[in-house]
Structure 1
């Protein structure tokens, strides 16, 4: 089983390292991890995709919740959440291949972010299945490099939103 966790943490030095260290010490598997500062620079949102059986996944949630910098942890249910991932793909392409690749990119609403004589770089954001479908259509081309961000996500709507005022008071909507 896979589960997506959304953590709201204090934006302190080493917080990502401490969370990753917890996974490492306990032998838990991280499929992907992303982190970024929120609209409030005091806090960071970390999205972790982990896999394991039900017991391991519930232990992950309990152990992460105990960490000092963790303000909140949510399990993002696929039915009530939006997940996205970004990939950048550098593809070897001559003139003929370039037009074909651009055509495929257009179908997926991908962006061509760099073009050189012998290659181009395509950027695509979407669900994992969309990215996998795009990559499968590129199988006949030589992929020189590929970079993926991992999943990031948020719950839909305004339920379960945590707001923190300047004094540090937590309020749930």
Structure 2
């Protein structure tokens, strides 16, 4: 990333009151998150990424997580209905692919009703993070999970979340 590109991303993050350190974790993830933050009327998003794990011991799309935690919220993705997450496979990389990586999108976009994930590795967490996943599929009416392996504890969390919203 050039210094000019870094400056543009810093300015965009600063306008959203985002911690500048978050924008230097991974260039593609940073650009995707800032584009989403500045496109509140988007209805469909397809993210195809190579890296989907921890970067510098930080987990996930941290900019969107910060935006979701702001009170009052400065950004929402209330119009986002269709989310397609794709991990472009590279046999040289051992990164896991988890819904938890994208938790910030789900927090900002409560109306996602069509969700596709390929491959699906569940909502497992890296060992160093011992909190419960913050992803709910309660509003999803069309679900496509391709390939992958979802651990039983991740399935239990998803089912428990779903049942909790229906009671």
TM-score normalised per structure 1: 0.24
Structure with higher helix content: 2
Name the larger-Rg structure: 1
Structure with the bigger RCO (C-alpha within 8 Å, sep 6+) is: 1
TM-score normalised per structure 2: 0.25
Structure with higher strand content: 1
